[in-house]
Chains A and B, each alone.
Chain A
């Protein structure tokens, strides 16, 4: 397959992940892995947002909302305790087929809740539905109107999770069980599983990168780029610009939701701060500084900035840092900080070869 070379960075990325593990182990600071794991899950959001902003050319100031929808849905479904209804026929049947599972929470109580896989599916479906409903009218709007509308959407989600008892209000939801993957692998934040989860998170990110790279180099990716470069021409060539933008919007929302689900199971909890406007602004800042359409740049900057932020390096100036980044990038480097001219030269050389 002549496009195998686009996957080389993925391989390099995996080697980097392994290498980082070994370095951290040697330095005796494996607890850094916790922040790296969380950064990876935030990275999922920015990959999706990069597709939306860099390729479809749409600005979303509410993507934290989708992260929250994913996380909260999974949290609610896996922590709702239906034990008191276990006599109910439907409940019993669901339990029988494995949709509902019995488990013991940290307080030793018997819980009967939805299986994490079912919750995951439900979270994705709900996110897709909401993204569709929001996207349908909003994608039609011009530039800053869409920005405001998505901002408003993010705010509503924030207010809803902050104000509703089911979502734990200001305390959020905790006691979220681990997410069992295959065999002994599961997503949880406990110390013995730290290395395991580090790899789970990063493999998830690399899988997401593979999907995103595939999309960009496909017919759809070309169509998206053409929309971004000259919408009217794209339209006249038979591309349904509205539908493509909408589909990309929903897809980016799904990426965010997956990040939300996995993060929630990793942390065992989720709080309203994940839906806050500042989170959405951060995601936008990361995509902007990473280069808008530069997937690897965005991922790199996202992980770097989130890691530093999570480790508290920015102190009380956390938000200010991201705000400054936004200003700085927009003023001085609207094409992104990482130009990587050497890599660009190599890639254009490769491109010419593949077309010869």
Chain B
């Protein structure tokens, strides 16, 4: 096994009679931006759920840094360094932006129940360092102005960026982005592309599910195409654009 950051082998997952993911084998090398595309119902979000631990595969394995993580619970997958965002923003609505990010720092901090109850001094430094880090990230993403705002009051585009920031607060090695451009206009999408590239340059590997083709072709180093749960094609964007199978599943058969 070579040193792929993330690897899946023959992943299968069905729901009743529906085979959401069938025999999907993929590798994600460290430091790349890899996109997962495919028509609706192709199994992209299910794939993410299988990797992140929200769902258990019926068959197959998932490896992270050569360690088997198949079927682990989401929180332990997160603790290993895999962060994810969701199709619909899942911010904590009644908590402020900073508090949201502080929750993101959870895996990088340690204070437990006893330390919390007794407000032990050793937690003060940890808390302060976490908070400083959160403000750094907010500044990085131009969100400093929103630090004290309650999450539910933010505009949609801002909410998206905050969810991003929260995932970054985890300092993950791998970031799973589920349709990050959904609902964004052209300008916001351009900013998003910049952001993803910046993150990659900081050393975080990104696996992105997306429908926005221009974004995908713009930023991806590699593209994986799924259709009805199966892997159809995998390779650099230019090759995918020309792949006849891919063209067929998106545009239909000429003779159909």
A contacts B directly (C-beta below 8 A): yes
- Residues of A at the B interface (CB closer than 8 Å) are 1, 3, 211, 214-215, 217-223, 225-226, 229-230, 232-241, 247, 251, 351-352, 355-356
CB < 8 Å neighbour of B106 from A1, A3, A211, A219: A219
B103 and A239 within 8 A (CB): yes
A355 and B148 within 8 A (CB): yes
Given known contacts A232-B54, A232-B90, A234-B103, A215 and B166 CB-to-CB distance under 8 angstroms: no
Q: Complex Cα distance A263/B88, Å? A: 49
- Chain B proximity of A276: nearest CB distance (Å): 30
- Chain A proximity of B110: nearest CB distance (Å): 8
Q: Complex Cα distance A251/B113, Å? A: 9
Measured between beta carbons, the chain B residues less than 8 angstroms from A236 are 52, 54, 74-75, 78, 83-84, 86, 90
B93 and A355 within 8 A (CB): no
Contact residues of A: prevailing secondary structure: helix
B109 and A219 within 8 A (CB): yes
Q: Complex Cα distance A214/B86, Å? A: 32
B90 and A238 within 8 A (CB): no
Q: Complex Cα distance A236/B110, Å? A: 17
Measured between beta carbons, the chain A residues less than 8 angstroms from B63 are none
Counting chain B CB atoms within 10 Å of each CB, the highest count among A226, A241, A351 belongs to A226
Measured between beta carbons, the chain B residues less than 8 angstroms from A214 are 116-119
Q: A230-B90, A236-B75, A355-B148 are in contact. List 9 more A-B contacts (CB 8 A).
A: A3-B119, A221-B116, A222-B99, A223-B103, A233-B86, A234-B103, A236-B52, A236-B78, A237-B75
Q: Complex Cα distance A239/B170, Å? A: 12
Q: Report, nearest first, the 7 A-B pairs whose CB atoms are least far apart.
A: A218-B116, A238-B78, A233-B90, A238-B107, A220-B116, A229-B92, A214-B119
A237 and B113 within 8 A (CB): no
B75 and A235 within 8 A (CB): yes
Q: Complex Cα distance A298/B154, Å? A: 30
- Chain A proximity of B39: nearest CB distance (Å): 25
Measured between beta carbons, the chain A residues less than 8 angstroms from B75 are 235-241
B127 and A226 within 8 A (CB): no
- Residues of B at the A interface (CB closer than 8 Å) are 52, 54, 73-76, 78-79, 83-84, 86, 90-96, 98-99, 102-104, 106-107, 109-113, 115-119, 123-124, 126-127, 147-148, 166, 170
B170 and A238 within 8 A (CB): yes
CB < 8 Å neighbour of A223 from B78, B84, B91, B106: B106
Q: Complex Cα distance A214/B115, Å? A: 9
CB < 8 Å neighbour of A237 from B115, B126, B127, B170: B170
13 A-B residue pairings within 8 Å (CB atoms): A211-B118, A214-B119, A219-B116, A219-B126, A219-B127, A220-B116, A222-B102, A222-B103, A226-B95, A226-B103, A234-B103, A235-B75, A238-B107
Q: Complex Cα distance A221/B118, Å? A: 13
Q: Complex Cα distance A297/B95, Å? A: 20
B107 and A220 within 8 A (CB): no
Q: Complex Cα distance A222/B78, Å? A: 17
- Chain A proximity of B169: nearest CB distance (Å): 9
Given known contacts A239-B103, A352-B148, A356-B148, A219 and B166 CB-to-CB distance under 8 angstroms: no
B115 and A218 within 8 A (CB): yes
B116 and A237 within 8 A (CB): no
Q: Complex Cα distance A225/B104, Å? A: 13
Across the two chains, which residue of chain A brings its CB closest to B131? A355
A218 and B111 within 8 A (CB): yes
Counting chain B CB atoms within 10 Å of each CB, the highest count among A238, A247, A352 belongs to A238
- Chain B proximity of A244: nearest CB distance (Å): 9
Measured between beta carbons, the chain B residues less than 8 angstroms from A234 are 92, 103
- Chain A proximity of B117: nearest CB distance (Å): 5
A215 and B94 within 8 A (CB): no
CB < 8 Å neighbour of B107 from A221, A225, A237: A237
Q: Complex Cα distance A3/B148, Å? A: 16
Q: Complex Cα distance A237/B106, Å? A: 7
- Chain B proximity of A228: nearest CB distance (Å): 9
Q: Complex Cα distance A99/B256, Å? A: 88
- Chain B proximity of A106: nearest CB distance (Å): 38
Q: Complex Cα distance A218/B91, Å? A: 19
Given known contacts A219-B109, A222-B103, A211 and B94 CB-to-CB distance under 8 angstroms: no
B79 and A238 within 8 A (CB): yes
Q: Complex Cα distance A235/B102, Å? A: 14
Q: Complex Cα distance A355/B17, Å? A: 52
Measured between beta carbons, the chain A residues less than 8 angstroms from B107 are 237-238
Across the two chains, which residue of chain A brings its CB closest to B109? A219
CB < 8 Å neighbour of B91 from A217, A233, A352: A233
- Chain A proximity of B38: nearest CB distance (Å): 22
Q: Complex Cα distance A226/B102, Å? A: 10
Q: Complex Cα distance A356/B148, Å? A: 8
Q: Complex Cα distance A256/B153, Å? A: 37
Across the two chains, which residue of chain A brings its CB closest to B74? A235
B106 and A355 within 8 A (CB): no
- Chain B proximity of A342: nearest CB distance (Å): 18
A351 and B148 within 8 A (CB): yes
